[in-house]
Amino acid sequence: MSILVEDVMRAMEHLAPLPLAEEWDNPGLQVGDPVAEVRGILTCLDVSEAAIAEAEQVGANLIVSHHPLIFHAQKSVRADNPLGRMMLQLIGKGIAVYSAHTNLDIAVGGVNDVLAEAVGLRKLSAFVITQQDENGHVESLGRVGTLPAPMTIQDFAAQVRAGLPCDHLRYVDAGPRPVRKVALCSGSGAEFIERAARLGADCYLTGDVRYHDAQHAAALGIHLIDAGHFATEYPIAHALAEYLHQELPDVRVYEDKVARDFFQTL
């Protein structure tokens, strides 16, 4: 049975409905024909020239990414800038791109649930509420969860590093407070440090933390872990590959194996 791009879109929107996305976001089909037959799917965090080459190598003509290829209106598509060059490559090679961004961050089973599982959290609940219906059901960016037993911040930081694709992380030791209740937001969530503290979290896990964010966490008495934007989100590539393989067993699904964090340490 032929699988079309629109079939994959339906599967993705069952997992991460488009209405969950933030207003500024741009999820959905970025490039390609909805009725084109899918020969293979590559899941990834970012659409890059390396990911395009990887898709071509494995015979995938659909890339499913977390970060959208296109965020803003484009007035031109030129080969002498990175985005235009990638768009021309995708069109020339017949590779479609579908992206699920903040809707996948928020969705049950999405980026933040995958992150919480990777670092050992249980009993998850809402963190930053983005929507609430008349029955009181909420949608949430990020999660709050608990560890099976209290840990020191040093031991929890080591557990986070072992559970994520990172060779280093930064943490703020806010004192002798043990870590049991943890709030997290994948990617870039330093703006929610104070909210995590108000909810009684012992530690907050996110990425893209600045110096004064760390200073603020220390003043609030909450431990803080910056595991990086890449490491807190990249595990979704594997989770998406597993999900799509289960939902669409008649199409080959591959996950990005070449992506690396842009930041390196000496």
Residue 89's Cβ-count burial label (10 Å; 0-12, 13-18, 19+) is middle
Is residue 64 domain-resident? yes
Residue the block writes with tokens 């209740």: 181
Q: Give the chain's mean pLDDT.
A: 97
This prediction has a pTM of: 0.96
Q: Is the pLDDT of residue 247 over 90?
A: yes
Q: Summarize the confidence of residues 112-133 as an average pLDDT.
A: 97
The token duo for 134 is 């008349």
pLDDT tens profile 6-21: 999 999 999 999 999 9
Please indicate, yes or no, whether residues 124 and 189 belong to a single structural domain of this protein.
yes
CA distances from 251 to 17, 93, 225 (A): 22, 19, 38
Residue ending a domain, choose from 76, 101, 126: 101
φ, ψ for residue 34 (rounded to 5)? -60, -25
The per-residue pLDDT for 39 is: 97
- Structurally, how many domains does the chain consist of? 2
pLDDT tens profile 54-93: 999 999 999 999 999 999 888 999 999 999 999 999 999 9
Domain that residue 76 falls in? 5-101
The pLDDT confidence band at residue 103, using thresholds 50, 70 and 90, is: very high
Is residue 143 domain-resident? yes
The per-residue pLDDT for 1 is: 75
Is residue 153 domain-resident? yes
Please indicate, yes or no, whether residues 196 and 153 belong to a single structural domain of this protein.
yes
The per-residue pLDDT for 174 is: 97
Percent of the chain past pLDDT 90, that is, above it, reads 96
Is residue 256 domain-resident? no
Please indicate, yes or no, whether residues 46 and 126 belong to a single structural domain of this protein.
no
Alpha helices in 145-192 (DSSP H): 153-163
pLDDT tens profile 138-195: 999 999 999 999 999 999 999 999 999 999 999 999 999 999 999 999 999 999 999 9
Q: Summarize the confidence of residues 223-234 as an average pLDDT.
A: 98
